[in-house]
Chains A and B, each alone.
Chain A
Amino acid sequence: MSAATSVNRLSLLAGILRHVVLLVTGALILVPFLWMISLSIKAPGEIFHASFSFWPVQFYGIENYKKALTETPLLRYMGNGLMVCGLILALQILLCAPCAYALAKLRFFGRDLIFGLVLAGLILPHQVLSLPLFIFGYKLAILNTYSALILPYVVSPFGIFLLRQFFKTIPDDVVHAARLDGLSEFAIVWKVMVPMALPALIAFAIFSVVGHWNDLFWPLIAVRDLSLMPPPLGILVFKNEEAGSDYGPLMAASTLVVLPLTIAFLAAQRWFVEGLTGGAVKQ
């Protein structure tokens, strides 16, 4: 037997081993997702009977999902989440893009100081700010309104930073040419720079939307009315006050909350990876 075939056989074995290990770790990672879906289509009796099987004996999905949607204003929560995330993102882009352009391309006194402020904001964990922001919201009488959910996030230091880094890679000649064409600085931001920075903008949008869709800490502090709650807070209230350990509807609600981002993630994997690792990973 030659050395080459034994090496081949070894690499074949290594290849199989790779798939075996990754399928096992992957399965372990997926267990909570699969179990969530499984419980969401099982009847209470079957859930309490405790079985290993993924597929229910009696399909109870319609009842569970109906309960999740009627016993709790789940659609309202998701609508709130969508609106709050959308408004936060729109305001962030509106405020961050011009500032990022000024920091990247314009020379003015105090620019480095402003950039220092952005960097400091980048490091700050938002929970540290929650107490003063709560008092601030109280003084403005906006607690328990949509404004309370949105206002603290209208400007994102990370957004400014990411866009500034991207704008810096755009040659100055582009800016000069736009000025010669008679564009104002404001028009340069929105008609020249932002369209060119689309990849950075998409990465930032994913970072922002995922972060705010999933956030529990600030909504817990800022709102009390069910009608204002974003999905994580709503589902927590549903668990604590309605469902308890009636896991069927609870899992149905969880599935519906996790589903939109999961679908988006599977459709645009590389953008998610880039956005959620803060641009540290570029595909």
Chain B
Amino acid sequence: MSEPRAFSTACHRSLTRRGASFLAVSPACRQAFVVAFAGYGLAGPAVFFLLVLFLLPVVGVFFIALTDWQLGAGSFSFVFLANYREAFADPTFRASLANTAVYVLIVVPGTLFGGLTVALLIESGKSCRSFYRAIHFLPFMATVTAMAIVWEALLHPTIGLVNQIFAAVGLSTANWLRNENTVVPVLGTIGIWQNLGYAMVLFLAGLKSIPRDLYDAADVDGADLWIDRLRTVTLPLLGPVSMFVVIVVALRALECFDAVKVLTQGGPGNASEVLLYTLYRESFEYLRTGYGAALAVIFLAMVGILTLINALVMDRKVHYQ
């Protein structure tokens, strides 16, 4: 291990300043050494586990993805990109990609619009703010597995509340989770229900940070109606927050798993197969380790792209201000 930088510069400075002999160790030098030593001691255990539990598995997953390994099999051989080729040719995985895309495209705009509307309404008055905020935030922290079972009861074709209400008001009923046309939109609705409160609190924080004098300035400029103030001040200034909400909700939507596992197991057919569910099935039910690892790499690439966009946008936001 090479010498700590802080340690060597501090020692060098004290040695030259005092013109001391090589053997004399100044207090500043000893201090810097102690600090560096403490740094390794204090960070060491966490770094060890970061390497073993994060870095090593990521490297491992890229490596395994190049093999045809099946869990339990004694040997494996390198197939290089064959797993990726197989994935993109596989109807199940293609369905999974398409369904995930549709799911994200339902959840993100729904959550964004819903969260923004609720946040604007809450912020437009003084009373009951924390009450409304608590109600709308509740699903975000509730156990998805348990709540998915409740949704199954709500969506039950004969005794479910949804079909009862739809029948009572003359709308057509359906077996929502067993119909390939409705299953993804229904899962998307559950996703919106779950994430709306999250978007709401992010927007509430964004609204709080808008300086009041901008509204006064808008008043002077003749923006009397709330719609004018919304259009000229509020919405433009919520731009960066909105972008952040889009990315984080998209990331959460990409990670959709629990509701699918509980409610549909990817069915009917492949109609609700989503990325993480396919990954789970291939890796841990069919034990196709190499192939599952390739799916994990594809999933990671998508998350990486979204994170990169987020970083770039946040970077630009800094330049604007």
Which of A107, A125, A236 touches B6 (beta carbons < 8 Å)?
A: A107
Closest CB of chain A to B36's CB: distance in Å? 4
Number of interface residues of B (CB under 8 A): 100
The answer to whether A131 and B293 have CB atoms under 8 Å apart is: yes
Across-interface contacts of B284 in A (CB, < 8 A): 130, 134, 220-221
Complex: how many Å from CA A94 to CA B98? Answer: 43
**Interface residues of B, dominant DSSP:** helix
Which of B39, B46, B153 touches A251 (beta carbons < 8 Å)?
A: B153
Closest CB of chain B to A205's CB: distance in Å? 14
Q: Which A211-229 residues have C-beta < 8 A from chain B?
A: 213-214, 216-217, 220-221
Closest partner residue, chain A, to B132 (CB atom): A22
A75 at the interface (CB under 8 A from B): no
Complex: how many Å from CA A102 to CA B35? Answer: 9
A61 at the interface (CB under 8 A from B): no
The stretch of B74-82, B84-92, B255-263 in contact with A is: B255-263
Closest CB of chain B to A120's CB: distance in Å? 7
B2 at the interface (CB under 8 A from A): yes
Give 1 or 0 for each of A1-40: 1 = CB within 8 Å of chain B CB. Answer: 0000000000000110011011001100111110110010
The stretch of B17-25, B123-131, B178-186, B213-221 in contact with A is: B123-131
Complex: how many Å from CA A147 to CA B300? Answer: 26
The stretch of A82-90, A150-158, A195-203 in contact with B is: A150-158
Across-interface contacts of A261 in B (CB, < 8 A): 141-143
Closest CB of chain A to B104's CB: distance in Å? 14
Complex: how many Å from CA A235 to CA B198? Answer: 25
Q: Which A104-157 residues have C-beta < 8 A from chain B?
A: 106-109, 111, 114, 117-118, 120-121, 123-125, 127-136, 151-152, 154-155, 157
Chain A interface size, under 10 / 10 to 19 / 20 to 34 / 35 or more:
35 or more
Complex: how many Å from CA A22 to CA B121? Answer: 7
Which of B32, B39, B60, B151 touches A111 (beta carbons < 8 Å)?
A: B39
B150 at the interface (CB under 8 A from A): yes
Across-interface contacts of A134 in B (CB, < 8 A): 283-284
Given A29-B135, A128-B296: A117 and B307 within 8 A (CB)?
no
Closest CB of chain A to B190's CB: distance in Å? 9
The answer to whether A107 and B257 have CB atoms under 8 Å apart is: no
The answer to whether A128 and B292 have CB atoms under 8 Å apart is: no
A247 at the interface (CB under 8 A from B): yes
Q: Which B272-317 residues have C-beta < 8 A from chain A?
A: 276, 279-280, 283-284, 289, 292-293, 296-297, 299-300, 303-304, 307
11 A-B pairs with C-beta separation under 8 A? A26-B132, A36-B147, A95-B45, A155-B53, A217-B276, A220-B284, A235-B145, A251-B150, A254-B147, A281-B201, A281-B204
